[in-house]
Structures are given as structure tokens and as C-alpha cells.
């Protein structure tokens, strides 16, 4: 409040308009939260997402066993009081592994989303502000990336950069002795981030470009321009707050699709390698025995299904909450 | 029309070449050595003294010692002659592997596309006509839900449900042609992937057409509702649905990668999966290129038939 009063006393009309919009934004957010909490499905989604984040953060402390610990007397057992969700084909506790898998999935999703948003925003801004030629070139690049199925391209990239990344890490370890580089498990994750980020940025780039082009036509932007507000200020004060709604919605959806892609790669044996727990490789290593040990496949599969559904419910709810005008249209 | 076609082709061809370049570069970037990998298969059978020599000879034979552009142009030249190389695991002709399996996947994919359309268009219509009711939410939310759940999750869960819990079918395995009961489940799972795209597109299109003057006129003339839907709404609403064909193609290709091994279908997706699992570069490249060709072709076809469906689109 004090910030905006200061802005108002500052004089120029453009500044005043900017201050007004800051005030309105805050009430819009309050509105959005209200709308989100009124929607039952998005509440369910919110709860599932919170559960996921808690298991990702504290899973290893909650988990009764480690993800590698084998109970050789209880191999491939049905759920029991000792092992809540049973044990897998080499006697590891399934519940613990699902919790560790939550950490893998969340880590990959957060990093991938983060990297691809940054790339997407930069390329989108270049397309939106760089003139017709830049728009054309970025458009072509996006078309090219999108003409290969995302999973295939991500898999191809992951397969190709795996060796270079591992040698690179080994070299750093040899040179510096930094203990972080001795462990190769997170390198699998790094490879997956690379592959996934490369295939997921075009969505953001298109979104940002579209937002820039469509918001430019709005009257308030025109008004801001006519009173002499600078381009940069318009971008930060007017474009950004108005574009952030769709971006948050896309973030949510791509969070779940990054999770699905990670488990797909791990399922194909390219992503996270056993014994590291990923829901994808857990499904893959047990899919052959689905007919006589169904719980080994069903537990990670159901977890992945519930989590992606929950996040998408949340995304749908956010879409309705943040873009109240375009209720449930595409 | 002629210039329009040329223009579309002029966009599609460079796109494909760029895809080729990316594919090739990625496989060159990785210092991963296919020959070394091949040698591990013959471990012990080779004389250790001659091993280095043999490796060097194989590298020469495959042209792996040449420069990047030499390798790329040679590879491109072979590609023009339909030579996709020999697979590392099993020494098989990659083109033949794809040609042999592709028809099966194509039939399955076509069936999947038909099922998607048959399910998606009515569902989209219903959702639009009952806009913002629980039915609308269920259809849109439900189909979206199925899309987000990957095939390798859905397939085992449905198998467990239908075979073990409900016990209404035997384990569907293998391929005996399209008109067998065992293809029902795989086709259904394939169809679920692109379904929400069709549903959403149909729904939006119907909603848009619904507010048109000619629909109001038809209503005022006292035409039956179903007649208005069939004659006036669907005809015009289906046009934008055609644009989803590219998405459908992509969904079917990705779906079959996981589906084939689960249902033991000797299809294109199975070749892709085996390629990835075995780090078999020639196979991976072949599969990626064929998929890219399929998607680029589908988009090209959509672009070319769209002006016929919607004459308002001006051809320059």
C-alpha cells in the first residue's frame, strides 16, 4: 500500500497507471485463490500435489527402508504389516521405493520446467520483440523441434549426451576431487533434464510470443505507450502481470508432463537407472510379471497415474481461477 | 493452388532436412562407440592380439573415422537410396526391420485414429451442448485424465483389471491381423491418447458454430435439434478438427512404442523400444526419421486439404 501511494504521489500519469495496476493485481490474486478453492476437483489436485511435494522432501525420512535394502527372506511378497505395499522381485520394500521415486520425479519435473521456462521465455521474447525476421527464424526452429515426437527426441538426446556428460563429470572429479562428482547417480538426472528441457521449451516460447502479440493490441498498453511509458516498463509492469496467469497454468501442466516423460525415459531404460528408484523403471522391471505379481506393476503405475491426474486437476482449476473470462474454453 | 502446394513443400522439406541434421549430429556428438559395443558381443571369441586391428577395420568399414560432413553427406546419400544402415544388435537391415513392422503399426494406428474420431466427436458435441454442466466437466476432465496417464501405466492397469480382477478376457498377445478380438484393448489404449485433443477441438468448434446466425435461423424455422446438429453444426464444426490430425499421429506413434512390447505386437514401436534399450543408433535414427516423416507428412496433408474444407482460407 505504501509503495503504491508513493507511486501515486510521484506525478506522471504513466506511473499512476502502473501503481493502479499493482493494486488491482493483488485483488486479482485474492479472487483467483477464492475461485480455486471453490472448485472441488482442484482441491483434490492441490492435496495430491502437496502430498507429492511432502513425499519428495521428506520421503527418505518417512520411508521405513532404504531404496536398495533387500529383505531376502521376503522376496516378491504381497503387502504385509512389515512391508506395507509388499516387496519387489529382489526383496526391496515397495513403499519405500515409491517414496524415493517421488523425489526423483519431482526433482526432474522442477528442474526441467525451470530450464525450459527460461529458454522458452527468452526465445518467446526474441520472437515477440525482435521483429519479423527473428519471429520467422524462431518459428521455424520451433516447428523443427515439434515435428519429432517429444519422447523420441528426448530419448535420442538423452542417449547421445549420456557418455559426454559422464566423461565430463569424471574429468572434473579427477581435476578437483570435488566429492559431488564422484557420485554418478545425479548424472542420470542431468541427462534426463537436458533431453526433457530441449523438447519442452517450444511450448513456452509459443505461449510467450502469443501473449506478447495479443496483449500488445490491448488498449491499456496503447494508453501506457501514448503517455510515454518506456517499452521495458510496459513489458515489466503491464505485459508480465497479464501474461503470468497463462504461464502458471502451463507450468502446472508441463510439470506433470515432465514427470510422465521422465518415467517414460526411465521405462525405456534411458533415464534413471536402477537401483535408483523411478516409477518408470519400477514399472519396466516388473511389467513382464504383471499377471502373477500384479501389485509390483500396479503400485508404481497407480502412483504415477494419481499424481499426474492430481496435478492436471490443479492445472485445470488454476486455468479457471486465473483466466475467469475464458472459462473452460481451449 | 499450385503455388500454395509448392510453398507448403518448401517449408516441409527444409524442416525434414533440419530434423535429419539434428538426428545425425546427436549421434556423432556422443563419443559412444558402436564398434566397441559390437565387440562386447563377441567377447572371448576374438583373438586378443588381432582385436585392435579388427576394431580399426570395422571402424573404416563403417566410415567412422571420416570427418563430420563427409559422414553426413555419405549418410544422406545412402538415405536417398533407401539405405538406413545395419542394426548394431543382430546385424539386420534397419529399413527392412521398419518396412516389415510398419504395416502392422499403421493398421493399429489407423484403427486407433478411427476410434478416437468416433468417440471424440460425439463426446465433444455432447460436452458443448451441455456446456458448463457436470456432464461437460466429466467428459473434458475425464478424457484429459486419460491423456496424462502414459500408455505403459494404463496398459498394465487395464490388463490387471480386465484379466485378473474382472476376468472377462484372456491375455491379449501377438498379432493375427486387425480383425481379432485381441486388438481391441491395444487399439482402445492407443485411441485414448489423442482423444482429449479431438474432444476439446470439437467442443470449441461446436460452441462457436452454435452462436452463428444460420443456426439461429434454423432453430427459428423449427427444425429438429438433431437435424440442426447434423446439417449445420457438425459440418462446420468438423473442419477445425482436421487440424488435430498431426497430434493424433504423434500420439499414435509414441503410444505404439510402449504398447508393442506389452502386447507382444511385432510393430514399429517395438523396433523403436528395442533400439533405445540396446543403444542401437542406426535403429534409433531410422525410427526417429520415419516418425518425423509421418508427422511432417500429416501436417502437410492437413495444410493441403484445409483450403478445400474451408474456402474462406485464402490461398496465396
> 10 Å Cβ neighbour count for A242?
18
The answer to whether B132 contacts A305, with C-beta atoms less than 8 Å apart, is: no
pLDDT of residue A123: 92
> What CA–CA distance (Å, rounded) separates A47 from A64?
23
Cβ under 8 Å to A: B residues 184-223: 200-201, 204, 207
Q: List, as ranges, residues 131-170 from B with C-beta within 8 Å of A.
A: 131-132, 136-137, 140-141, 144-145, 148-150, 152-154, 156-157, 159-160, 163-164
Q: Cα(B267)–Cα(A293) distance, rounded to whole angstroms?
A: 26
Question: Nearest CA to B96 among B81, B85, B104?
Answer: B85
- Please tell me the distance from the alpha carbon of residue A123 to that of residue A134, in angstroms, as a whole number: 9
Q: Do A283 and B284 touch (CB under 8 A)?
A: no
**Which residues in chain B are contacts of A328 at CB distance < 8 A?**
131-132, 136-137, 140
Residue B21: phi, psi to the nearest 5?
-65, -45
pLDDT tens digits, chain A, 330 residues: what are they?
344 444 444 445 545 555 555 555 556 677 778 777 777 778 888 999 999 999 888 878 887 777 777 777 777 777 777 777 777 777 788 888 888 888 888 988 898 898 898 999 899 988 888 888 988 889 888 888 888 888 888 888 888 887 777 777 778 888 877 776 666 667 777 888 888 888 888 988 988 888 888 888 888 888 888 888 888 888 888 887 777 888 888 888 888 888 888 888 888 888 787 778 888 888 888 887 777 788 888 888 888 888 988 888 888 888 878 776 554 433
| Binary contact (B299, A147; C-beta < 8 A) | yes
Of A163, A284, A329, the CB nearest to B31: A163
Query: What number of residues does chain B have?
Result: 316
Cell triple for A8 = 501515486
B:239-278 residues touching chain A, CB 8 A cutoff: 250, 253-254, 257-258, 262, 272-273, 276-277
Of the candidates A106, A138, A143, the one whose C-alpha atom is nearest the C-alpha of residue A121 is A138
The answer to whether A304 faces chain B, any CB pair under 8 Å, is yes
Q: From the candidates B37, B130, B150, B280, which should be mutated to test the interface with A, based on the most A CB atoms within 10 A? A: B150
CA distance B239 to chain A (A): 16
* Chain A hits for B292, Cβ within 8 Å: 147-148
- B15 reaches A (C-beta below 8 A): yes
Widest CA span in chain B: 92
Nearest chain B Cα distance for residue A232, angstroms: 34
Contact A160 B30 (CB under 8 A): yes
pLDDT at A50: 92
C-alpha to C-alpha distance for A268 and B277, rounded to whole angstroms: 6
What is the spatial distance between Cα A214 and Cα A225, in angstroms, rounded to a whole number?
15
The pLDDT, as a whole number, for residue A1 is 39
Question: Using a CB-CB distance cutoff of 8 angstroms, which residues of chain B are in contact with residue A140?
Answer: 14-15, 18
The dihedral built from the CA positions of residue B137, B143, B145 and B147, taken in this order, carries a sign that is negative
DSSP B176: S
Q: Which residues of chain B have pLDDT under 50?
A: 316
B31 to A164: CB separation less than 8 angstroms, yes or no: yes
Beta-carbon separation of A159 and B253 below 8 A: no
Report the predicted TM-score, pTM, of the whole model to 2 decimal places: 0.81
CA-nearest residue to A310 within chain B is B145
Lookup: cell for A195:
533431453
Output the pLDDT for position B181: 74
| Nearest-CA distance A29 → chain B (Å) | 23
pLDDT at B34: 63
Amino acid at each position: 500500500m505504501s509503495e503504491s501511494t508513493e507511486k501515486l504521489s510521484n506525478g506522471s500519469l504513466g506511473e499512476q497507471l502502473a501503481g493502479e495496476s499493482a493494486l488491482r493485481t493483488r485483488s486479482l490474486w485474492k479472487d483467483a485463490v477464492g475461485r480455486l478453492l471453490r472448485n472441488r476437483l482442484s482441491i483434490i489436485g492441490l492435496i495430491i500435489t502437496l502430498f507429492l511435494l511432502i513425499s519428495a522432501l521428506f520421503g527418505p525420512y518417512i520411508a521405513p527402508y532404504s531404496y536398495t535394502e533387500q529383505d531376502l527372506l521376503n522376496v516378491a511378497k504381497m503387502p504385509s504389516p512389515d512391508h506395507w505395499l509388499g516387496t519387489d522381485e529382489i526383496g526391496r520394500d515397495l513403499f519405500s521405493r515409491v517414496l524415493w521415486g517421488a523425489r526423483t520425479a519431482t526433482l526432474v519435473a522442477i528442474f526441467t520446467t525451470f530450464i525450459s521456462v527460461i529458454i522458452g521465455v527468452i526465445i518467446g521474447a526474441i520472437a515477440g520483440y525482435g521483429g519479423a525476421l527473428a519471429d520467422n527464424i524462431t518459428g521455424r526452429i520451433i516447428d523443427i523441434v515439434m515435428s519429432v515426437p517429444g519422447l523420441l527426441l528426448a530419448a535420442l538426446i538423452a542417449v547421445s549426451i549420456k557418455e559426454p556428460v559422464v566423461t565430463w563429470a569424471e574429468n572434473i572429479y579427477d581435476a578437483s576431487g570435488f566429492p559431488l562428482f564422484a557420485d554418478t547417480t545425479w548424472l542420470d538426472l542431468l541427462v534426463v533434464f537436458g533431453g526433457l528441457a530441449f523438447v519442452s521449451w517450444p511450448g513456452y516460447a509459443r505461449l510467450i510470443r502469443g501473449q506478447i502479440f495479443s496483449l500488445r493490441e490491448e488498449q491499456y498498453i496503447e494508453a501506457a505507450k501514448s503517455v510515454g511509458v518506456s517499452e521495458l516498463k510496459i513489458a515489466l509492469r503491464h505485459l508480465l502481470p497479464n501474461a503470468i496467469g497463462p504461464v502458471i497454468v502451463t507450468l502446472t501442466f508441463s510439470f506433470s508432463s515432465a514427470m510422465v516423460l521422465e518415467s517414460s525415459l526411465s521405462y525405456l531404460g534411458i533415464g534413471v537407472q536402477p537401483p535408483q528408484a523411478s516409477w518408470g523403471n519400477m514399472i519396466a522391471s516388473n511389467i513382464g510379471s504383471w499377471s502373477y505379481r500384479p501389485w509390483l506393476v500396479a503400485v508404481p503405475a497407480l502412483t504415477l497415474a494419481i499424481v499426474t491426474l492430481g496435478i492436471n486437476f490443479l492445472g485445470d482449476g488454476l486455468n479457471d481461477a486465473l483466466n475467469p473470462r475464458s472459462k473452460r474454453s481451449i | 493452388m499450385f503455388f500454395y502446394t509448392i510453398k507448403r513443400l518448401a517449408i516441409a522439406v527444409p524442416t525434414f532436412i533440419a530434423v535429419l541434421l539434428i538426428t545425425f549430429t546427436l549421434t556423432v556428438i556422443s563419443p559412444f562407440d558402436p564398434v566397441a559395443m559390437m565387440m562386447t558381443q563377441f567377447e572371448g571369441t576374438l583373438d586378443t592380439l588381432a582385436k585392435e586391428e579388427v576394431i580399426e577395420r570395422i571402424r573404416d568399414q563403417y566410415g567412422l573415422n571420416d570427418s563430420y560432413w563427409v559422414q553426413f553427406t555419405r549418410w544422406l546419400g545412402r538415405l536417398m537410396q533407401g539405405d538406413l544402415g545395419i542394426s548394431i544388435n543382430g546385424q539386420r537391415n534397419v529399413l527392412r526391420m521398419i518396412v516389415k513392422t510398419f504395416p502392422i503399426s499403421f493398421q493399429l494406428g489407423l484403427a486407433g485414429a478411427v476410434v478416437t474420431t468416433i468417440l471424440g466427436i460425439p463426446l465433444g458435441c455432447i460436452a458443448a451442448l451441455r456446456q458448463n454442466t457436470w456432464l461437460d466437466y466429466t467428459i473434458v476432465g475425464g478424457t484429459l485424465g486419460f491423456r496424462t496417464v502414459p500408455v505403459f501405466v494404463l496398459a498394465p492397469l487395464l490388463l490387471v483389471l480386465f484379466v485378473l480382477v474382472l476376468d472377462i478376457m484372456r491375455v491379449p498377445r501377438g498379432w493375427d491381423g486387425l480383425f481379432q478380438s485381441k486388438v481391441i484393448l491395444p487399439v482402445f489404449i492407443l485411441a485414448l491418447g489423442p482423444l482429449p485433443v479431438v474432444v476439446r477441438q470439437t467442443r470449441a468448434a461446436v460452441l462457436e458454430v452454435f452462436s452463428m446466425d444460420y443456426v439461429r435461423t434454423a432453430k427459428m424455422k423449427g427444425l429438429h435439434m438433431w437435424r440442426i446438429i447434423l446439417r449445420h453444426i457438425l459440418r462446420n464444426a468438423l473442419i477445425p478438427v482436421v487440424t488435430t490430425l498431426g497430434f493424433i499421429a504423434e500420439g499414435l506413434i509414441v503410444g505404439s512404442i510402449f504398447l508393442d512390447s506389452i502386447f507382444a505386437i511385432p510393430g514399429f514401436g517395438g523396433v523403436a523400444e528395442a533400439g533405445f534399450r540396446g543403444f542401437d543408433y542406426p535403429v534409433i535414427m531410422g525410427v526417429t526419421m520415419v516418425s518425423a516423416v509421418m508427422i511432417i507428412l500429416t501436417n502437410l496433408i492437413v495444410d493441403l486439404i484445409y483450403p478445400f474444407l474451408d474456402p474462406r482460407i485464402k490461398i496465396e
